[in-house]
Amino acid sequence: MPHCIALFSGGLDSCLSVITLLRQGIRITALYFNTSFGCGLSNREDYLKRVSERFGFDLKVIDVSEEFLGILKNPAYGYGKNMNPCVDCKIMMLKNARDYMNQVGADFIATGEVLGQRPMSQQRHIFNLMEKKVGIKDYILRPLSALLLPPTHPERVGMVDREKLHGISGRKRIQQFHLAKEYGLDDYPNPSGGCLLTDPNFSLRLKELLLYKKDVNIRDLRLLKIGRHFRLNDGTKIIVGRNQDDNAHIMDLHTTADILIMPYDVEGPTVLIPKADISDDLIMTGASFCMFYSDGKDRDTIRVIVKYGNEERFVDANQSYSLDIQKYMIKR
């Protein structure tokens, strides 16, 4: 039985691509690449497992966060409409898939790409470029658009029946919706695949961070996904939780090098000042941000707990430090 390594985001196109090949009796190992920018990976992992069990293929999650971070800072082929370096990202995934294919002795790679669907990364010349960069030109099959592309090695040698592949192109997804119905695929996430880098607001935060911080790390990226973000000066940001989930994430991600501020006598947000040089002024500013978004906003003062290093103390916050709070917000 031919063995295919499939790039698998869990979005509609990659699901259809995999099912198209499964229906030809091809064994599939689907690779999900965790770049750190998928929406709600834990939910997505549950979904991916459900699909793989239902349709009968193997699933492997590969963490490429660190490798992707390097690409994100300086993509050779630039960004798309937002901060999405799609061409570099696809090349990275294909290289990983190629290595995995060689490691397990699989026969070819499949992707869910559709010709002409995305202006940056899903064009004929870009497919050629990626194949050249990855060095396995004839071994990357795109089942959804295969009839519009030259036959690949697995089609030519009869591993894959070309006549049962598709000739889909363009941005409209009507044909994919019909195919999903035909395949009994009724439970799929947003077709865009949920990459945060295509989100304009998230991209703005990321761009701002890359501008001010040269040594961005994975924790910085995780923090970008939560809370309201404020820039006080070149080296200082304040992050304010918007809800209990944000507050819990801030607690999880904080280190002893950060200033952490929590309301003590009212309901309100957890506030993080990442890797800050502590000063009374900064603490009072962070405390007043906490107050501004708390239930005690209209009081004269609220009491907050401030943690820094191994120290912990109470501070009485007031609004005098946050009069211009909106001015500091990182937003479009």
Site residues for ligand SF4 per CB under 6 A: 35, 84-86, 89-90, 193, 195, 197-198
> C-beta of 44: minimal distance to ligand SF4 in Å?
12
Instruction: Check if the beta carbon of residue 97 is closer than 8 Å to that of residue 109.
Output: yes
Minimum gap (Å) between residue 48 Cβ and ligand SF4? 14
Q: Which long-range contacts (CB under 8 A, 24 or more apart) does 310-314 make?
A: 310/256, 314/264
Q: For residues 13 and 246, which CB has a smaller minimum distance to ligand SF4 in the complex?
A: 13
Distance in Å, CB of 288 to ligand SF4, minimum: 37
Q: Is 195 helix (H, G, I), strand (E, B) or coil?
A: strand
* H or E element that contains 246: helix 244-253
Q: Please give the single-letter amino acid code of residue 152.
A: T
Give the integer Cα–Cα distance in Å for 87 and 130. 8
Helix axes 12-22, 174-183, angle to 10 degrees: 50
Report DSSP state, residue 162.
Answer: G
Q: Which residue has the tokens 């490798």?
A: 67
DSSP SS3 for 169? strand
Cα–Cα distance measured from residue 309 to residue 257, given in angstroms and rounded to the nearest whole number: 6
Q: Which is nearer to ligand SF4, 90 or 205 (CB)?
A: 90
Q: CB of 82: closest distance to ligand SF4 in angstroms?
A: 9
Considering the complex, state which of residue 197 and residue 226 has its C-beta at the smaller distance from ligand SF4.
197
Question: Which residue lies nearer to ligand SF4 by CB, 89 or 238?
Answer: 89
Nearest to 179 by CA among 158, 194, 164: 164
63 vs 316, beta carbon nearer ligand SF4: 63
- Min dist CB 217 to ligand SF4, Å, is 19
Q: Torsions phi, psi of 241, nearest 5?
A: -60, 140
Residue type, 118: R
By beta-carbon proximity to ligand SF4, the closer residue of 84 and 152 is: 84
State in angstroms the smallest separation of the CB of 222 from ligand SF4. 16
**Cβ closer to ligand SF4: 17 or 35?**
35
| Nearest residue (CB) to ligand SF4, 87 versus 261 | 87
Q: Assess contact for 289 and 262: CB atoms under 8 A.
A: no
State the minimum distance, in angstroms, from the CB of residue 80 to ligand SF4.
7
The count of other CB atoms within 10 Å of the CB of residue 63 is: 14
Displacement of CA 187 from its chain's centroid (Å): 21
Helices 12-22 + 41-55 axis angle, to 10 = 20
SS3 content of the chain, % helix, strand, coil (to 5): 40, 20, 40
User: Rounded CA gap, 168 and 160, in Å?
Assistant: 17
Least Å distance between CB 150 and ligand SF4? 23
Q: Which is nearer to ligand SF4, 84 or 322 (CB)?
A: 84
Least distance to ligand SF4, CB of residue 17, Å: 14
